[in-house]
Amino acid sequence: MTDSTAPAGAGKKRPTIWEVARLAGVSHQTVSRYLKGTTGMKPVTREKIDRAIAELDYQPDLIARSMRTRRSHRIAVVLPELTSFVPVPVLRGAAAAAHEAGYTTDVLGLEGDESRRAEGALALLESGRAEGLLSFAPLARLGAEAGGAPKPVLVYGEYDDNMRSRGQLADGRFTEEIIRHLAGLGHRCFLHVAGSPDWASARNRRDVYVDTIAKLGLESFGVVDGDWSVRSGYEAARDLPANSGVTAVFAANDYVAMGVLRGFQDRGVRVPEAISVFGWDNEQFTQYFSPTISTVSSDREELGRRAMLSLLALIDGRPQPAVHIDELFRLIPRGSSGPAPR
């Protein structure tokens, strides 16, 4: 007679590192090096271990390892504070990279200014509760002046205290690709509906727009100060003079682009036949609006992953991998953009 109240999986032995090694056809020392993230391992060997771990659903016993090595195998991921906005894709990518290297992650909200957050981060590291700290919040320096050797802390990208992106998270260089793409379709006169100037991402996209227009010898009717809202895009399209000569609008994000499209539709201006519109962020609705909205996608999950890989390299004393921001962006032309009218 069986006990129907026994939890699922009760009595099932947890797979061991030796079983992983046997299935992969390698030594258990090789599997151990793999779990530590050791570099220099042949790709074919890594693939064998990957398959064996997946097939056995092997999970490293981090508690036992911590007792044996006196290492926590935990990484703290810091945000300014836990608010209603959490950069989920970035955190998902960071956690996945940490897990692959045998670490667990804890997401923390540290309050206070940069100095106070730095004090909290330093206390966390000195307590041994975390081996490294990946911060998306600005911190005061944690170097020799903070008490000794450089700490395993990486401030990457950054959100400010109001969860507004800055640094690499706010990179605007891909704006040039949008303008070049539209210029290649014959457009010569542009309008930019900007985001809120409080955001570094809005300022960066605006600056690159202005620089690119000048560099390519194009014409800008102007820059409309917006606030990321649908309304700001709608009003920009509504108020654009009929004789402006504008044939392409670059909106700071997809919500602004949707407002621009609706504003032109209400005026009877056909998109993209008369005017092309480009957004940014690849929000889900852009695929279902009519016309579908041309936009830019950014792989924020990969950005989080690369941030964590940089921290892991710092923890291990290895050179940090180079990050090429342009690789994280992709142009997505859709129905709202096309050749300039003749």
Query: Cβ distance 213 to 190 under 8 Å?
Result: yes
CA distances, 296 to each of 65, 101, 281 (Å) = 43, 31, 5
% of residues, the chain, pLDDT over 90: 35
Q: Residue 57: phi, psi to the nearest 5?
A: 55, 45
Query: Which residue, 232, 230, 229, 212, is CA-closest to 220?
Result: 212
Domains assigned to the chain: 17-59 (1.10.260.40), 70-163 (3.40.50.2300), 169-297 (3.40.50.2300)
Is the predicted pLDDT of residue 306 greater than 50, yes or no?
yes
Q: What is the pLDDT of residues 53-90, one digit of tens each?
A: 888 887 665 444 443 444 557 888 887 765 555 678 88
Is the predicted pLDDT of residue 202 greater than 60, yes or no?
yes
* Per-residue b or e along 207-234, where b marks 16 or more CB atoms closer than 10 Å to that residue's CB: ebbeebbeeeebebbebbebbbbbebbb
User: Among the ranges 37-51, 160-174, 257-271, which has the highest mean pLDDT value?
Assistant: 257-271
Looking at per-residue confidence, does 51 or 123 come out higher? 51
Average pLDDT over residues 205-227: 95
d(C-alpha 162, C-alpha 146), whole Å: 26
Q: Phi-psi bin for 319: left (phi > 0), alpha (psi -120 to 50), beta?
A: beta
Is the predicted pLDDT of residue 263 greater than 90, yes or no?
yes
Q: What is the pLDDT of residues 135-191, one digit of tens each?
A: 877 676 654 444 445 578 777 655 555 544 555 555 678 899 999 999 999 999 999
d(C-alpha 103, C-alpha 312), whole Å: 10
pTM, two decimals, is 0.63
Residue 146: per-residue pLDDT: 44
d(C-alpha 303, C-alpha 281), whole Å: 14
What amino acid occupies position 340? A
